[in-house]
Structure 1
Amino acid sequence: MSREQQAVERARKAFLTGRSKQLDYRIAQLKSLRRLLVERNQEICDALKKDLNKSELGTPLYETLGLEGEIMLAVNKLKEWAAPRPVQKDLLTLSDQVFIQPEPLGVVLVIGAWNYPWAVTLQPLIGAIAAGNAAIVKPSEVSAHTAKVMEELLPIYLDKELYPVVTGGVAETQELLKQRFDLIFYTGNPRRGKTGDGGCRPSPDTRYPGAGGGRAPVTLTRDCDITIACRRITWGKFTNCGQTCIAPRLRPM
Structure 2
Amino acid sequence: MMPSKSPGPGPALPWEEGSPPAMAGEGLVPACSRHRRLVEREAPLKCPAAMEKMQQVVGRARAAFRSGRSRPLEFRIQQLKALQRMVQEKEKEIMRTLKADLNKSGPNAFTQEILGVLGALALTIEKLPSWADPHHVKKDLLTLRDEAYISYEPLGVVLVIGAWNYPFALVMQPLIGAIAAGNAVVVKPSEVSENTARLVAELLPLYLDKDLYAVVTGGVPETTELLTQRFDHIFYTGNSNVGRIVMAAAAKHLTPVTLEL
TM-score, with length taken from structure 2? 0.77
Q: 1:15 aligns with which of 58, 61, 65?
A: 65
> Where does the alignment leave 5 or more consecutive residues of structure 2 unmatched?
1-50
Match of 1:207? 259
Q: 2:135 aligns with which of 65, 70, 85?
A: 85
Instruction: Measure, in 2, the Cα distance between the counterparts of 1:198 and 1:205.
Output: 10
Q: 1:186 aligns with which of 236, 242, 255?
A: 236
CA 1:95–1:108 in 2, change beyond 3 Å: closer, same or farther?
Answer: same
In terms of fraction of residues, the more helix-rich structure is 1
Verify the 8 A CA contact 2:162 2:237 in the aligned structure 1: yes
Match of 2:96? 46
How far 1:198 sits from its partner (Å)?
4.7
Q: Which amino acid aligns with 1:67?
A: V
Instruction: Measure, in 1, the Cα distance between the counterparts of 2:245 and 2:142.
Output: 48
Mapped pair 1:115 → 2:162: no
More moved, 175-184 vs 89-98: 89-98
Instruction: Measure, in 1, the Cα distance between the counterparts of 2:54 and 2:103.
Output: 30
Q: 1:154 aligns with which of 197, 204, 209?
A: 204
How far 1:175 sits from its partner (Å)?
0.7
Q: 2:155 aligns with which of 98, 105, 117?
A: 105
Mapped pair 1:31 → 2:71: no
Verify the 8 A CA contact 2:160 2:235 in the aligned structure 1: yes
Match of 1:195? 245
More moved, 62-71 vs 50-59: 50-59
Identity %: 57
Verify the 8 A CA contact 1:174 1:196 in the aligned structure 2: no
Matching of residues 197-236 of structure 1 within 5 Å: 197-199=247-249, 201-202=252-253, 203-209=255-261
More moved, 143-152 vs 51-60: 51-60
Verify the 8 A CA contact 2:97 2:196 in the aligned structure 1: yes
Q: 1:137 aligns with which of 187, 204, 216?
A: 187
Instruction: Measure, in 2, the Cα distance between the counterparts of 1:120 and 1:103.
Output: 24
Mapped pair 1:76 → 2:120: no
Instruction: Measure, in 2, the Cα distance between the counterparts of 1:28 and 1:2.
Output: 28
How far 1:95 sits from its partner (Å)?
2.1
Instruction: Measure, in 1, the Cα distance between the counterparts of 2:248 and 2:110.
Output: 38
Q: Secondary structure at the match of 1:15?
A: helix
CA 1:197–1:74 in 2, change beyond 3 Å: closer, same or farther?
Answer: closer
Matching of residues 237-252 of structure 1 within 5 Å: none
CA 1:208–1:92 in 2, change beyond 3 Å: closer, same or farther?
Answer: same
Q: Which amino acid aligns with 1:69?
A: G
TM-score, with length taken from structure 1? 0.80
Q: Secondary structure at the match of 1:21?
A: coil
Verify the 8 A CA contact 2:247 2:257 in the aligned structure 1: no
Q: Secondary structure at the match of 1:206?
A: strand
Instruction: Measure, in 1, the Cα distance between the counterparts of 2:152 and 2:249.
Output: 31
Please identify the structure whose Cα radius of gyration is greater.
Answer: 1
Root mean square deviation, CA, Å: 1.4
**1:135-175 deviation per Cα after TM superposition (whole angstroms, max 9, x unaligned):** 10000000000000000000001111111000001111111
Instruction: Measure, in 1, the Cα distance between the counterparts of 2:160 and 2:248.
Output: 19
Instruction: Measure, in 1, the Cα distance between the counterparts of 2:126 and 2:246.
Output: 37
CA 1:206–1:196 in 2, change beyond 3 Å: closer, same or farther?
Answer: closer
Q: How many residues align?
A: 209
Q: Which amino acid aligns with 1:163?
A: Y
**1:100-135 deviation per Cα after TM superposition (whole angstroms, max 9, x unaligned):** 101111110000000000111110000000000111
More moved, 92-101 vs 149-158: 92-101
